[in-house]
Amino acid sequence: MRYGNPLGGTTEQGAPQRFIEHLLAAEPTEACIEWPYATLPNGYGHLWVDGVDIVASRYICERVHGKPPTPDHDAAHSCGRGKQGCVNPAHVSWKTRSENEGDKVSHGTSGRGENNHFVRLSEEAVKEIISLKGKMTGREVGEKFGMTRWAIYKIWSGTNWAWLETEDASTPR
């Protein structure tokens, strides 16, 4: 069913806020606490506060840590499970977008490399492509892997897949 269960009813007014108050008053726990109410298509919980639709973890971060230090700060999850609806107050803090992206890499939730659903190459294939630099032309390597020569050049220059280490660290990119 596209828009949920028509017999599912609605959330009692004020229930999400009461849930948050309970969370904030409870003893801290290391376990993730899943948002039991409405979620956005990306998995984050959300609620209405004073007529404004807000992401639940951001609201909780504001309640625990105050307003973000700058407009460029995100409510980041130390657990890496924000998209699964984690709202544990102990797991959220203000981080810059860059810091948050770094956390995603360490959590394994980053959308780069094989975690990106648009990717056409495996990390193993990219390592092989890197190793072929100087041994074959970009066009030849592209034909071998079903890629354009421009895609190969972006790998060789480090524009794409830059974080990959070659097995032979002396291989220049």
The per-residue pLDDT string of the chain (173 residues; one tens digit each, 9 = 90 and over) reads 445 556 666 788 889 999 999 999 999 999 999 999 988 888 899 999 999 999 999 999 999 999 999 999 999 998 888 888 899 999 999 999 888 777 776 766 665 666 566 678 888 898 999 999 999 999 999 999 999 999 999 999 988 888 776 444 455 55
For 12, the token pair is 């009692």
Contact 91, 32 (CB under 8 A): yes
- In whole angstroms, give the CA distance from residue 122 to residue 141: 15
Who contacts 74 (Cβ-Cβ below 8 Å, separation ≥6)?
A: 58, 68, 94, 95, 96, 97, 100
Query: How confident is the model at residue 104, as a pLDDT?
Result: 74
Q: What are phi and psi of 31, to 5 degrees?
A: -70, 150
Distances (CA, A) of 52 to 55, 59, 62: 10, 11, 14
Q: Distance between the two ends of the chain, CA-based, in angstroms?
A: 50
Q: In terms of pTM, does the model score above 0.75?
A: no
Cα dihedral 162/168/169/173 (nearest 10): -40
Query: How confident is the model at residue 100, as a pLDDT?
Result: 79
CA angle 60, 61, 67 (to 5 degrees): 120
What does the longest C-alpha to C-alpha distance in the chain come to? Answer: 67
Contact 84, 43 (CB under 8 A): yes
